[in-house]
Structure 1
Amino acid sequence: MTVTRRTAMAAGLGAMATAAMPAMARPAAFASKRPAPADRRFTSRAVEREIARVSARIADPELRWLFQNCYPNTLDTTVFMDRVDGRPDAFVITGDIQCLWLRDSAAQLNPYLHLARGDAALRDLFRGLIARHARSILIDPYANAFMRDPAARTTLSWALADDTEMKPGVAERKWEVDSLCYPIRMAHDYWRATGDTVPFDALWHDAARATVRTFREQQRKDGPGPYRFLRRDRLASETLILNGYGAPTRKVGLIHSMFRPSDDSCLFPFLIPANWFAVSALRKLATMVSALRVDAALASDASALADEVAAALAQHGTMIDPASGERLMAYEVDGFGNAHFMDDANVPSLSGLAYLGAIGRDDPLWQRSTAAAWSPRNPYFQSGRAAEGIGSPHSGEGTIWPMAIVMCAMNSSDDAKILRCLRHLKRTHADTGFMHEAFDKDDAAKFTREWFAWANGLFGELILDLAKRKPHLLGQTL
Structure 2
Amino acid sequence: MVSYSLNSSIALFGLFCTFVLLVFIDNEFGHDIKATSDPARQDSLLKRNTNQDGSPQSSCPGYTDYAKVKHEPVSSGPYKYPYQRPSDSCRTFKSPAVETVIGAFKERLRDDDLARLFENTFPNTLDTTIRWHTKESKAGGPRSFIVTGDINAEWIRDSRYQLYNYQKLAPYDEDLKTLILGAINQHVDYVTAFPYCNAFQPPEEAGTTPGSNDQEVSITPNVDFKKVWECKYEIDTLASFLGMASDYYENTQDLRFANDAWIKAAKVVLQTFKDQQHGSMSSNGSTEAPKYLFKSLSWTSTGTQALNGNGNPVSSDTGLIRSAFRPSDDTTTYQLFIPGNAQAVVEMKRVSQWLGKVHEEDLAREFKELASQVEDAIWKHGTFEHPQFGKVFAYEVDGYGGRNIMDDANVPSLLALPDIGFVDVKDETYQRTRKMVWSRQGNPYFIAGKYFTGIGSPHIDLEHPWPLSQIVRLRTSDNDDEIKEALRALMDSTNGLGLMHESISANEQNDDSYTRPWFAWVNTEFSRALIDLAGRKPQLIFRDGYGYIFFNPIVKEHIIEPAPKPVEDDRQKKN
Provide the TM-score with structure 2 as the length reference.
0.76
Residue of structure 2 aligned with 1:67, choices 118, 128, 148: 118
| Contact 1:282–1:303 (Cα < 8 Å) also in 2 | yes
| Contact 1:114–1:193 (Cα < 8 Å) also in 2 | yes
**The 10-residue stretch of structure 1 (211-220 or 302-311) with the greater mean CA deviation from structure 2:** 302-311
Deviations 1:99-145 (A, max 9, x none): 00010000100011111121111110111011000110011000000
AA aligned to 2:114 is L
In structure 2, the residue matched to 1:447 is: 514
Aligned: 1:269 with 2:335: yes
Alpha-carbon distance in structure 2 between the residues aligned to 1:441 and 1:340: 24
Alpha-carbon distance in structure 2 between the residues aligned to 1:448 and 1:417: 25
Residue of structure 1 aligned with 2:421, choices 319, 332, 357: 357
Alignment of 1:37-76 (within 5 A): 37-76=88-127
Alpha-carbon distance in structure 2 between the residues aligned to 1:25 and 1:137: 39
Residue of structure 1 aligned with 2:458, choices 361, 385, 393: 393
Alignment of 1:419-438 (within 5 A): 419-438=484-503
Cα distance, 1:188 vs structure 2? 0.7
AA aligned to 1:273 is P
Alpha-carbon distance in structure 2 between the residues aligned to 1:122 and 1:378: 40
| Contact 1:154–1:172 (Cα < 8 Å) also in 2 | no
AA aligned to 2:514 is F
In structure 2, the residue matched to 1:135 is: 189
Aligned: 1:166 with 2:231: no
In structure 2, the residue matched to 1:214 is: 272
| Contact 2:82–2:497 (Cα < 8 Å) also in 1 | no
| Contact 1:54–1:467 (Cα < 8 Å) also in 2 | no
Q: Residue 247 and residue 476 in structure 1: after superposition, are their counterparts in 2 closer, same or farther (change >3 A)?
A: farther
| Contact 1:139–1:169 (Cα < 8 Å) also in 2 | no
Alignment of 1:40-439 (within 5 A): 40-79=91-130, 80-82=132-134, 83-84=136-137, 85-149=139-203, 155-164=211-220, 165-167=222-224, 168-220=226-278, 223-251=288-316, 252-293=318-359, 295-324=360-389, 326-376=390-440, 377-439=442-504
Deviations 1:68-115 (A, max 9, x none): 001100000001212323411011100000100010000100011111
Deviations 1:417-475 (A, max 9, x none): 11111111111101111100001111254111000000000001011111121111113
Cα distance, 1:62 vs structure 2? 1.4
Alpha-carbon distance in structure 2 between the residues aligned to 1:379 and 1:302: 35
Q: Residue 99 and residue 22 in structure 1: after superposition, are their counterparts in 2 closer, same or farther (change >3 A)?
A: closer
Cα distance, 1:149 vs structure 2? 2.5
| Contact 1:428–1:444 (Cα < 8 Å) also in 2 | no
SS at match of 1:399: coil
**The 10-residue stretch of structure 1 (158-167 or 309-318) with the greater mean CA deviation from structure 2:** 158-167
Cα distance, 1:153 vs structure 2? 9.6
Aligned: 1:469 with 2:527: no
The root-mean-square deviation of aligned C-alpha atoms, in Å, is: 2.2
Cα distance, 1:22 vs structure 2? 9.5
**The 10-residue stretch of structure 1 (395-404 or 82-91) with the greater mean CA deviation from structure 2:** 82-91
| Contact 2:215–2:297 (Cα < 8 Å) also in 1 | no
AA aligned to 2:325 is F
| Contact 1:54–1:464 (Cα < 8 Å) also in 2 | no
AA aligned to 1:429 is T
Alpha-carbon distance in structure 1 between the residues aligned to 2:456 and 2:543: 28
Q: Residue 91 and residue 134 in structure 1: after superposition, are their counterparts in 2 closer, same or farther (change >3 A)?
A: same
Q: Residue 119 and residue 23 in structure 1: after superposition, are their counterparts in 2 closer, same or farther (change >3 A)?
A: closer
Between the two proteins, the alignment pairs up a number of residues equal to: 457
Deviations 1:371-395 (A, max 9, x none): 2111111111111111211111111
AA aligned to 1:181 is A
In structure 1, the residue matched to 2:49 is: none
**The 10-residue stretch of structure 1 (420-429 or 449-458) with the greater mean CA deviation from structure 2:** 420-429
| Contact 2:242–2:347 (Cα < 8 Å) also in 1 | yes
| Contact 1:23–1:431 (Cα < 8 Å) also in 2 | no
Deviations 1:267-317 (A, max 9, x none): 101000001111111111211212322x22211211111111112112101
SS at match of 1:368: helix
Deviations 1:9-58 (A, max 9, x none): xxxxxxxxxx9x99979854445210111111111111110111112121
| Contact 1:254–1:275 (Cα < 8 Å) also in 2 | yes
In structure 2, the residue matched to 1:14 is: none
In structure 2, the residue matched to 1:12 is: none
Alpha-carbon distance in structure 1 between the residues aligned to 2:126 and 2:173: 14
Cα distance, 1:155 vs structure 2? 2.7
SS at match of 1:87: coil
SS at match of 2:392: strand
Cα distance, 1:225 vs structure 2? 3.0
Q: Residue 250 and residue 28 in structure 1: after superposition, are their counterparts in 2 closer, same or farther (change >3 A)?
A: closer
Alpha-carbon distance in structure 2 between the residues aligned to 1:74 and 1:145: 17
Alpha-carbon distance in structure 1 between the residues aligned to 2:407 and 2:518: 24
Q: Residue 235 and residue 154 in structure 1: after superposition, are their counterparts in 2 closer, same or farther (change >3 A)?
A: farther
SS at match of 1:171: strand
Task: Indicate the structure (1 or 2) with the bigger Cα radius of gyration.
Answer: 2
Q: Residue 91 and residue 58 in structure 1: after superposition, are their counterparts in 2 closer, same or farther (change >3 A)?
A: same
Q: Residue 161 and residue 330 in structure 1: after superposition, are their counterparts in 2 closer, same or farther (change >3 A)?
A: closer
Alpha-carbon distance in structure 2 between the residues aligned to 1:36 and 1:153: 25
Provide the TM-score with structure 1 as the length reference.
0.91
SS at match of 1:328: strand
Alpha-carbon distance in structure 1 between the residues aligned to 2:408 and 2:171: 34
Question: Unpaired segments of 5 or more residues in structure 1?
Answer: 1-6, 8-18
Q: Residue 28 and residue 44 in structure 1: after superposition, are their counterparts in 2 closer, same or farther (change >3 A)?
A: closer
**The 10-residue stretch of structure 1 (234-243 or 111-120) with the greater mean CA deviation from structure 2:** 111-120
| Contact 1:217–1:225 (Cα < 8 Å) also in 2 | no
AA aligned to 1:228 is L
| Contact 2:152–2:211 (Cα < 8 Å) also in 1 | no
| Contact 1:154–1:160 (Cα < 8 Å) also in 2 | no
Alpha-carbon distance in structure 1 between the residues aligned to 2:311 and 2:88: 48
| Contact 1:153–1:170 (Cα < 8 Å) also in 2 | no
| Contact 2:69–2:497 (Cα < 8 Å) also in 1 | no
SS at match of 2:296: coil
AA aligned to 1:245 is N
**The 10-residue stretch of structure 1 (88-97 or 117-126) with the greater mean CA deviation from structure 2:** 117-126
